[in-house]
């Protein structure tokens, strides 16, 4: 019985170590960079990570245009913590396309946001990325508040 408990404990520790310390794929790295730029409202940086002519590029350009017109004032809160969990990663077209489903956890403080001590906001992201040479570009991005 003790050996079984030890085996279970080692398995659990190994699983958590693997999920938290395993290297991300290049597609996941590109997604994390884009999602971080989007959350921090760094739309020019987010734009650079999208594929020209894609729905994701249009989404970012629309947000940039809205900000230029004064219809979107910019950040009124500060982000205290931001993390992402990859729920699924599905490759297609010989590995050139990847669809990710991820969950973002964000803690903010400021106007209209919960404090750093409150429950974090959770969003689900569904993202499609395409390999262009050695780089990955976002082609579509949807965000749903949970």
With b for 16 or more beta-carbon neighbours within 10 A and e for fewer, the 66-92 pattern comes to eeeeeeeeeeeeebbebebebeebeee
95 in a structural domain: yes
In the predicted model, residues of the chain with pLDDT beneath 50 are 116
| Residue-number span of the structural domain to which 60 is assigned | 25-145
Q: What is the CATH number of the domain that holds 98?
A: 3.10.450.50
How many structural domains comprise the chain?
1
Quick: pLDDT tens for 58-99.
999 999 998 888 766 555 567 778 899 999 999 999 999 999
């Amino acid at each position: 019985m003790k050996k079984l408990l030890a085996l279970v404990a080692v398995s659990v520790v190994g699983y958590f170590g693997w999920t938290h310390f395993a290297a991300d794929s290049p597609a996941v790295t590109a997604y994390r960079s884009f999602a971080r730029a989007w959350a921090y409202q760094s739309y020019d940086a987010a734009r650079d990570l999208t594929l020209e002519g894609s729905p994701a590029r249009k989404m970012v350009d629309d947000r940039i245009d809205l900000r230029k017109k004064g219809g979107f004032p910019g950040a009124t809160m500060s982000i205290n913590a931001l993390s992402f969990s990859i729920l699924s990663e599905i490759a297609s077209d010989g590995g050139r396309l990847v669809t990710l489903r991820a969950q973002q956890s964000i803690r903010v403080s400021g106007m209209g946001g919960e404090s750093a001590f409150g429950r974090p906001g959770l969003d689900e992201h569904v993202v499609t990325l395409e390999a262009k040479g050695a780089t990955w570009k976002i082609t579509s991005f949807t965000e749903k508040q949970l």
